[in-house]
Amino acid sequence: MGIEDSRLIGSFTRGTMTGPLKQDSDADVMVVLDADKHRDWIEQENGPTNALRAIKRRIENDPRFSQTEVRVDQNVVQVKYHDSTIEIAPAFRYSEVPHADHPRDGFNLFNDASDGYAIPDTHGQQSWQGTNPREYKQMFEARDQAHNGRVSGLTRAMKTWADRNNVPVRSYHMETMVYNYFEEKARRGEPVPSSYNELTREFMRTLPNRVHGKAKEPVYNESVDKGMGQEDRNAAAKKAKKASEKLEEAKRLKDQGKTEEAMEKLKEVHGKDFN
């Protein structure tokens, strides 16, 4: 298999991973394929799926991965070890895929996809979709720095909440919703709460609507929630609403001077180790 490059991407590189790797968490690796050697995957009608299946077979046939579970999960190949999971995203350089979908409508000099990559989009019609993890990382870090680390901090808190409560929202989806919350605040000229309790409470209040809406990443305005069904949206929104009510109750208790009761209510949302 012709591979030009591979790089670690995802939450690990942006400081939004919620803890050490474990079976239900993942590290993301993008494998950049040689377009000349794999031109058929670019041109075939089912090229994205064929690329994913070929990588899956390659891993399954490698004795080094004999103790892992390997499967295709949407646009990645998931390799699950007993204590961690690696997700491998095949990609071509965007300029090598002439018919790749440009995530934004129309041509935009400030969002040119040519310096990015094309990854599989297997939701509905088969296609290659533009993405640029490098530029997104730079944008995320700049906004996080502007808010003294609160973007990554809130992202980790919300991912942890989702993980502990079996909320059916994927990690990158949650991160995107948090990023967009801060972007909206900046665009409207609204202040961001200075305390994490107030910040979490305000974001959680908006989360049901965010889950039911469309979450789009900031580089190309690409939807990151295409594979989320209505049942999962309803379940996630319901859990977010319940958590929001508990956070509001915690605030009322604290305002009444009932600090211990308020802390117990916060622990119902954030876990028993919260302090």
Predicted confidence (pLDDT) per residue in 121-175, tens digit: 776 567 887 788 888 888 999 999 999 999 999 999 999 999 899 999 988 899 9
Q: How many residues does the chain have?
A: 275
Closest alpha carbon to 30 in 66, 58, 3, 68: 3
37-46: list long-range contacts, CB under 8 Å, 24+ apart.
37/1, 37/2, 38/1, 38/2, 38/92, 42/92, 42/96, 42/97, 42/128, 45/126, 46/126
- Does pLDDT of 54 surpass 80? yes
DSSP state of 216: B
For the chain, domain boundaries: 3-131, 136-270
What phi, psi does 140 have (nearest 5°)?
-65, -45
The predicted-structure confidence for 98-120, as pLDDT tens digits, reads as follows: 766 555 544 443 445 556 888 88
Query: The domain at 3-131 falls in which architecture?
Result: 2-Layer Sandwich (3.30)
Give the pLDDT band (50/70/90) at residue 23.
Answer: very low
State both tokens at 81.
């070890």
